[in-house]
Amino acid sequence: MSQRSSRRKSSHLSLATPPTESAPAHPADALPENLVRLLFQQAADLVEQNDPIQAELWCSDVLGAVWAATDGDPAAEETFVDAWIAAAEGPATERRAAMAALTVLGTMAGSSTMRRAASSAAERLGEPRPGLGLDDLSAGECWHYGDVFGDQETILCAFRRGSTEHAMLVLIDHTLGGIAKDVFFTQAVADSLADLQYELAATPVAFLEPIEPAVARRRLQRAFALTDARVEPRVNDEFAPHRALALARIRQLPPSIETGTLGGIVSPDALVAEFLDAPQAAELPDRDLAERWARLLIDRALVHADTPARVGPGVLDELLLVDVPDHALLDAPAKNAMPAVLTAWIRWAGHRQGLSAAAVTWLETALEEILDEFPDAYREPGAVAHRNTCPDTVDLRTSRRAQLHPWPQRTPISPTVLRATSGAGKVGRARPK
């Protein structure tokens, strides 16, 4: 992709405070003194730089550290912001640095209540506001890049401040339920769009089209809300430090009212029956195994909040390299049935989605590549241990009756348990990017 905006010094925050016998008597006491000194020293440096995007990236980095350290708990961010505001108003804090921090926080904090609190604190200080140039921001055009399968999409939004321009690019991953998975900012707006156009020319199953800013806002708000609703969402490294700035930019886009209507809901049983009765599945030799694999595909989509019967390389990648190795017991017949059943599924679901013949052929080639990697993924020691101990493992072995209950619903459990037992680190390739 295009060159990112110039690098800034990371705040390198440590949000772990020593345990105390009782709650701090004053909100500012909740922050360690060394962290307070670091924050306001960096705020003073921002005044010297007089670079609005660097000021916003700094504040976003701080709030992102809170988000990552507390599993995205909004109450934790509110507590942190309250303590930060109280420290800014403290007698030991240099007023110019305090005004800089409060000014940026007044535009970047997650809730309108926190933003108002920061702005009110700045007014109480009664000092001249630093010339950080945060005002005069306007939204420009937005673009939508994605694949025809619906696996992933990237939304690019351009913004202008004075004579300078920058862009925000957000990756939305529908194989993981439509979460916002990555976000970054760049001042090379034209180069970013040119990169997407280059990828479009090199990828026959991709599209690039302009999108109304109001529609972009609606899609982005939904994607970030889905990310925040997950326990330890599978996001990329740049997501947390850029999350707050992304949300601030989304608020700059014009609002939109959803006018679409939800499509009819099709039951999993009806989808399985439709697949088995389709001409694409007519020559499958083992109808029972075909049904088990079909239910596995549908249940995986439901648990990931994806569209049932949607097919794409990312879906196949996640299924065969992450979900099945971690959650399915297979014997030789079940494994041998995979290529034929999944090929039939691709042809049936592709026709159902209205994919072109070229796109379906492209998918079949992707399936062959993923199947080549499947044996190693299935033998991976962590996957073996997980599926042999997980109480919700699905048994597709022909020697036993298949467990046809839905794929295990993932409830908010201890992050420590999730880190120790889940396959969250196995991020699929999700072609095309």
* 404 φ/ψ angles, rounded to the nearest 5 degrees: -100, 15
Question: How much is the pTM?
Answer: 0.77
The amino acid at residue 280 is: Q
Token output for 297? 């595909």
What pLDDT does residue 15 have?
42
What pLDDT does residue 219 have?
94
Strand 152-161 and strand 328-329: the pairing is unpaired
Distance CA 61, CA 59 (A): 5
Buried b (16+ CB within 10 A) or exposed e, 303-322: bbebebbbbbbbbbbbbbbb
Distance between start and end Cα atoms, the chain: 11
The SS3 assignment for 73 reads coil
Where do we find the tokens 């309250």? 82
For 40, 150, 220, 230, the CA distances from 177, given in Å and listed in that order, are: 39, 11, 13, 10
The SS3 assignment for 348 reads helix
Distance CA 139, CA 158 (A): 6
The beta strand positions in 220-371, using DSSP E, are 328-329
What pLDDT does residue 258 have?
58
Token output for 191? 């180069």
Q: Is the dihedral of CA 145, 256, 232, 245 positive or negative?
A: positive
Q: Is 328 exposed, middle or buried (0-12, 13-18, 19+ CB in 10 A)?
A: buried
Divide the 433 residues of the chain into consecutive groups of 10 and give the mean pLDDT of each group. 37 40 50 79 84 90 91 88 87 84 90 91 80 79 94 95 91 94 92 88 89 94 93 92 96 76 68 93 92 90 82 93 93 93 96 93 95 96 92 81 42 35 32 31
What pLDDT does residue 264 have?
54
Distance CA 107, CA 114 (A): 9
What pLDDT does residue 279 have?
94
Query: 10 Å Cβ neighbour count for 138?
Result: 10
Where do we find the tokens 């005069």? 136
